[in-house]
Amino acid sequence: MGRSSIEQHPIWNKLKRHRYIRFALFVLLGLILYVMLVPNVLTEDLDLEPGSVSGQDVRSPVTVENKEETERLQQEASDSVEPVYSLKPRYADNQMERVQDVFQSVRLVQLEVRGQAGELNNPGDEEAVPEDQEPWTLEEQASELRERLSPEIEEQMSDDALITLLESDAEDLQTAEETTTSAVFDVMTDEVALDEVNEARDQAEQKVRAAALRSDLADALTELSRSGITANYMIDEEATFEARSSAEDLVEPSLIREGQLLAEEGQVITAEIYEQMSLAGLTEETSDLPPLAGLGLIIFFLIWMLAIYLREAKTPLRENNTLLLLFLLLTVVTLAVMKSVSLLQPLEMTGLPYLVPAALGTILTAVLIQARVAVFMSFFLAVAASIMFNQNTTQTFEFGIGLFVFFSSLAGVFFLDKTSRTKKLLKTGSWIALVNAGVVIGILLIKNQPFLWSEYALYAGAAALGGYASVVLAAGLLPFFETGFGVLTPAKLIELSNPNNPLLRKILLETPGTYHHSVVVANLAESACESIGADGLLARVGAYYHDVGKTKRPQFFIENQMKIANPHDKLPPDKSADIIIAHPYDGAAMLREERLPKEIVDIAEQHHGTTLLKYFYVKAKEKDSTVSEFAFRYPGPKAASKESAVVGIADSVEAAVRSMQAPTYEKMENLVSAIIKDRLNDGQFDDCDLTLKELHTVHASICETLKGTFHSRIDYPDETELKKAGGD
């Protein structure tokens, strides 16, 4: 195929590298993407009230905390914590001291009654008790004693019990005190909860009555011991507060998460659902400006990063607006296919979004442009898909689809076999289908939703079909883009290398010597180009056609002069030179006539560059010393690509080696070095970007290939010579 109409148009040739055209193409891509994605970021007015029915699935567009629900859960957690109880060891000593205080008070009252209270309380006081004072009655003594008791004990002691204590002698009081304090202390050293106080008092009473005391004193001590028992295993307010606070702290905030389903289509909006929607901001009228501006920012940075990547990664799009336009079209076509699938989502078919042929764009880009460009396209398409496949107007991104598109697109790059359009199509599609199905199952497992195995199968099946659809669509669209943009693909090169191609058959049948020469040149050029990172396949196919012009006058070229006289022997040098010099241009004309790709035509036209036909020039010089060297040089152009330059080197090397007598590896190595050096000094590589390092690599590669190609023709010293050399 020849150059596209775009490439051939003179106006486009001027604009092909124009930076403003590049800028306009980037802007155009951004605008197209913006228009496609705008409907997916604009929110609709839901117009929902409590009691109304939702006309669609409603999801939260943001993550927000439901504070009322969080507080309710915290209160529930706090209430669920039982009070923390703790034993108060000091209570046993306190209650025992209170009992002891009772007996001390009894003794004081007894002393006062005997007129010795003042001496007991203050032995230095000389004031006497009045002689006319009446002795206290038992009731008055009990009243005096009651005033000396603590309120807790006083309330529980009867007058009879107090009188019994007051009537007891010192020995009985001592026994009573020891019995009561022992009973109270023993009981109070154990845990006594509020609901166990009566039981504990019964235990204290039993201990008192077990002592050998008179009955009235035992009754009095029973009252006293019971009054001395109180709860000592009580709620620890501080510990309880800390425990309940810890329980509240463990409660996770109640969040309404982005993308959370708040109401299903057809569901009645309850007060609770409406409250959740209000918290998510769905019940308020919102401006469309923020989402529109946000989308614009995302697309701006996406296009900006694309431009930087295409420049810094040294891709073919860096200075070629034709390929940039092609990239734009491939991206738009893929986005259009994705958009078409996304518009079918309301049909609610299981797995429908995963039917999208996500790898379509990256397959075409890898074949027509470059694999590294296709890798960035994967990221580009994934971002677009995560927005495009959001059919719910209350959320923004569908990350599951974005992840799927990213992996599927990358699979289209990594598993692509660019050498055939049809033979390995099934294999490539199968790999993409496998990746698609695996990624979809992974996404479903991460979502951790209750899916049936049949649903897993449906999703995986849809994804696999999307993988096969990608390669089928790519195979169908590839010829149109190849023709429209004149892109030379590996598949096209393989097709051109078929020996049944009319021009190759013409070379084989009409110039068999040239055909053999071209095959050897192809072997040399392919390996050399691959060694420096150039297109080895292009060099091989270009070498097949580089001497097609020799079919015009085959007998004038030495490789075709089998058993015939050399016609140049009868021609003057200048005429012979004209015939030889014409063959690259005759070949280029024939290739253009057959509409072969420009890259192949360039190799045929440029492989001799402006080199000098030294043989005929020297021959002419012998006859006329004034002969101009210019008349014996090819008019050019010089090689403009690495492939053209390498084919030219390989062409000269093959012809020179073929004419060598008794070639050795050392001779061939020196010959290759001389040919490359001669062309370098002659300026034949000035128009291509071959470096000296690459020329050295080309030299090594050609020598290695020659070693195998001409192995049987290289003379080696025999054993006698080797022994002789060793003896010397």
CA distance 570 to 323: 52
Range of the domain at 202: 85-125+134-235
Query: With helix as H, strand as E and coil as C, how does 577-624 read?
Result: HHHHHHHHHHHHHHHHHCCCCHHHHHHHHHCCCCCECHHHHHHHHHHC
Task: Provide the Cα torsion 292, 378, 495, 588; round to 10°.
Answer: 60
Query: Which is it for the CA torsion 568, 569, 570, 576, positive or negative?
Result: positive
User: DSSP code of 284?
Assistant: S
Task: Count CB-CB contacts under 10 A for residue 230.
Answer: 19
**pLDDT mean values, one per 10 residues, the chain (728 residues):** 48 62 90 88 69 74 80 86 80 81 83 60 49 67 79 79 81 84 84 81 83 81 83 81 86 78 78 78 70 89 90 79 90 92 78 88 89 91 89 66 93 78 73 92 81 81 92 88 81 88 92 92 94 91 94 85 80 89 93 91 94 89 86 91 95 89 86 94 91 94 84 45 35
User: Which of 468, 487, 506 is the last residue before a domain boundary?
Assistant: 487
The answer to whether residues 344 and 211 belong to one domain is no
Residue 85's H or E segment, with its range, is strand 85-87
- Whether 258 maps to a domain, the answer reads no
CA distance 326 to 16: 12
What is residue 622's predicted lDDT score, i.e. its pLDDT? 86
What is residue 179's predicted lDDT score, i.e. its pLDDT? 85
Region for residue 247 given its phi and psi (left: phi exceeds 0; alpha: psi -120 to 50; beta: otherwise): alpha
Task: Count CB-CB contacts under 10 A for residue 330.
Answer: 24
The answer to whether residues 688 and 627 belong to one domain is yes
What is residue 81's predicted lDDT score, i.e. its pLDDT? 84
What is residue 607's predicted lDDT score, i.e. its pLDDT? 93
CA distance 97 to 100: 5
The answer to whether residues 460 and 574 belong to one domain is no
- Sequence length of the chain is 728
- Whether 3 maps to a domain, the answer reads no
Angle at 363 between CA 28 and CA 319, to 5 degrees: 45
Q: How many alpha carbons lie under 13 Å from residue 50 in its C-beta half-sphere?
A: 8
- Whether 260 maps to a domain, the answer reads no
Please tell me whether the overall predicted TM-score, pTM, comes out greater than 0.75 for this model. Answer: no
The answer to whether residues 313 and 458 belong to one domain is yes
The answer to whether residues 542 and 674 belong to one domain is yes
Nearest to 467 by CA among 538, 378, 363, 585: 363
Q: CB neighbours of 200 closer than 8 A, spacing ≥ 6?
A: 187, 188, 190, 192, 229
Which CATH number characterizes residue 691's domain? 1.10.3210
The answer to whether residues 447 and 298 belong to one domain is yes
- Whether 279 maps to a domain, the answer reads no
What is residue 420's predicted lDDT score, i.e. its pLDDT? 52
- Whether 276 maps to a domain, the answer reads no
- Whether 2 maps to a domain, the answer reads no
Task: Count CB-CB contacts under 10 A for residue 529.
Answer: 28
Nearest to 711 by CA among 452, 523, 552, 470: 523
The answer to whether residues 435 and 294 belong to one domain is yes
The Cα-based distances of 150 to 146, 147, 153, 222, 233 in angstroms read: 8, 8, 6, 17, 22
Tokens representing residue 31 in the block: 């605008």
The answer to whether residues 547 and 692 belong to one domain is yes
DSSP letters for 189-256: TS---GGGHHHHHHHHHHHHHTS---HHHHHHHHHHHHHT----EEE-HHHHHHHHHHHHHTSPP-EE
CA distance 421 to 364: 12
Q: Which residues pair with 87 in a beta bridge?
A: 233
Tokens representing residue 171 in the block: 């020995």
The answer to whether residues 576 and 473 belong to one domain is no
User: Which of 432, 453, 487 is the last residue before a domain boundary?
Assistant: 487
Number of domains in the chain: 3
Tokens representing residue 509 in the block: 């049948």
- Integer distance in angstroms from the first to the last C-alpha of the chain? 63
CA distance 628 to 618: 11
Cα 216 to chain center, whole Å?
A: 91
Tokens representing residue 338 in the block: 């994705």
Tokens representing residue 726 in the block: 């060793």
CA distance 68 to 45: 26
The answer to whether residues 514 and 438 belong to one domain is no
CA distance 603 to 577: 21
- Whether 396 maps to a domain, the answer reads yes
Region for residue 448 given its phi and psi (left: phi exceeds 0; alpha: psi -120 to 50; beta: otherwise): left
CA distance 331 to 327: 6
What is residue 4's predicted lDDT score, i.e. its pLDDT? 46
DSSP letters for 286-324: --SHHHHHHHHHHHHHHHHHHHHHHHHTT-GGGS-HHHH
What is residue 419's predicted lDDT score, i.e. its pLDDT? 56
The answer to whether residues 216 and 351 belong to one domain is no
Task: Count CB-CB contacts under 10 A for residue 334.
Answer: 29
DSSP letters for 672-722: HHHHHHHHHHTTTTTTS---HHHHHHHHHHHHHHHHHHTGGG-----HHHH
What is residue 17's predicted lDDT score, i.e. its pLDDT? 62
What is residue 44's predicted lDDT score, i.e. its pLDDT? 60
CA distance 387 to 358: 14
Residue 86's H or E segment, with its range, is strand 85-87
DSSP letters for 320-357: -HHHHHHHHHHHHHHHHHHHHHHTTGGG--TTGGGGS-
The answer to whether residues 194 and 317 belong to one domain is no
User: Which of 193, 216, 235 is the last residue before a domain boundary?
Assistant: 235
- Whether 74 maps to a domain, the answer reads no
